[in-house]
Amino acid sequence: MTGGFRHEPVMLAEIIEVFDGVPAGWLVDMTLGGGGHARGLLERRPDCRLLGLDRDQEALAAATTVLAPFEERVVTRHARFDSLHDVMAALAISSVSGVLFDLGVSSHQFDEGDRGFSYRFDGPLDMRMDASTGPSATDVVNGYGVDELTRVLREFGDERFAYRIANAIVASRPVRTTAQLAEIVRDAIPAPARRTGGHPAKRTFQAIRIEVNQELEILPDALGQAIDALSVGGRVGVLSYHSGEDRIVKHAFREAATGGCACPTGLPCGCGASPTVRIMRPAKRVPSAGERDRNPRASSAILRVVEKVAVTGVAQ
């Protein structure tokens, strides 16, 4: 945690260990946030430089302060992580040794009521990570039809009362504030179900945030760009926080590790697929019980890592 920007980096020791094993060169932090992971990596790897991206200007400003002691080895850019290739081209970086994704929002974004991410503070319905562009939560909540809202709540929030909530939202328009939305959701959920599973509006807020920021839509392309950018022996590590994200990461890593080979299991590959990475074991790591107790944000974290291999032309 740093100054006014409160965010404790998740699985910091494990992340440092992952990038301990990569060649010297550029490390990319695709989700710089408060710079907690980035600082740990810069301390541990004096032979590496760091390129940090974030789509949130407030996060970039906070990270710049935290990373000031390392400024000769740090470059930051206000960019979405699916523009990695463009950012690298502009900086004449041809390959990188490591790429970290720490997905989702930071504690800071949640805690700033005027960013509109949280049901805990009243504020405008915004939820944009990049507050300078794109539709906001107001547009989704007041513009989508019942069917579209139901889909968003089901797909991105696993909300079993999605249809009831969507109907309640449409009936209450215009909805302008986070407190108003939280109340509509609470009233739409049957009383017995409200008593379990945390705050009744948690899943709805998560779903709308994911929709507003197109979080799942841009992830596959960004993972592909990250794998492409690696030099041999370089690694991509991804921390995800819910099942939708983790499914995408697992699928992208499996595709890269098999080269998309669809030959029957147990038979030698005859389709000429060529793996570009190997999956680091264990394939799925989670935080220690101590970290989960100390930092509730860590409780749902899953870490997956792949390492770039030399192209052999034969799938394993």
Ligand X SMILES: C[S@@+](CC[C@H](N)C(=O)[O-])C[C@H]1O[C@@H](n2cnc3c(N)ncnc32)[C@H](O)[C@@H]1O
State the nearest-atom distance from the C-beta of 10 to ligand X, in Å. 7
Which residues, 6 or more positions from 265, have their beta carbon under 8 angstroms from its beta carbon? none
Which residues in this chain contact ligand X in the complex, by CB under 6 A?
Answer: 7, 9, 31, 33-37, 53-56, 59, 80-81, 102, 104-106, 129, 218
Judged by beta carbon, residue 166 or residue 239, the one nearer ligand X is: 239
Strands 48-54 and 25-29, bridge-based pairing: parallel
- 307: which residues sit within 8 A by CB, 6+ positions away? 233, 234, 235, 277, 278, 280
Q: Which residue is nearest to ligand X (CB)?
A: 33
Q: Which residue, 7 or 49, is less far from ligand X as judged by CB?
A: 7
Comparing CB distances to ligand X, the nearer of 9 and 237 is 9
Q: Which is nearer to ligand X, 41 or 185 (CB)?
A: 41
Closest approach, Cβ 182 to ligand X, in A, equals 22
Q: Least distance in Å: CB of 265 to ligand X? A: 35
Q: Which is nearer to ligand X, 176 or 247 (CB)?
A: 247
- Minimum distance of ligand X from residue 30's CB (angstroms): 6
Written as one letter, the residue type at 241 is Y
Q: Nearer to ligand X by C-beta: 67 or 140?
A: 67
Closest to ligand X by CB, 56 or 275: 56
Query: Whole-number minimum distance, CB 212 to ligand X, in Å?
Result: 11
Residues 235 and 98: beta-carbon distance below 8 Å: yes
- Tokens for 111, please give them: 């805690």
Cβ 258 to ligand X shortest distance, Å: 26
- CB 108 → ligand X: shortest distance, Å? 7
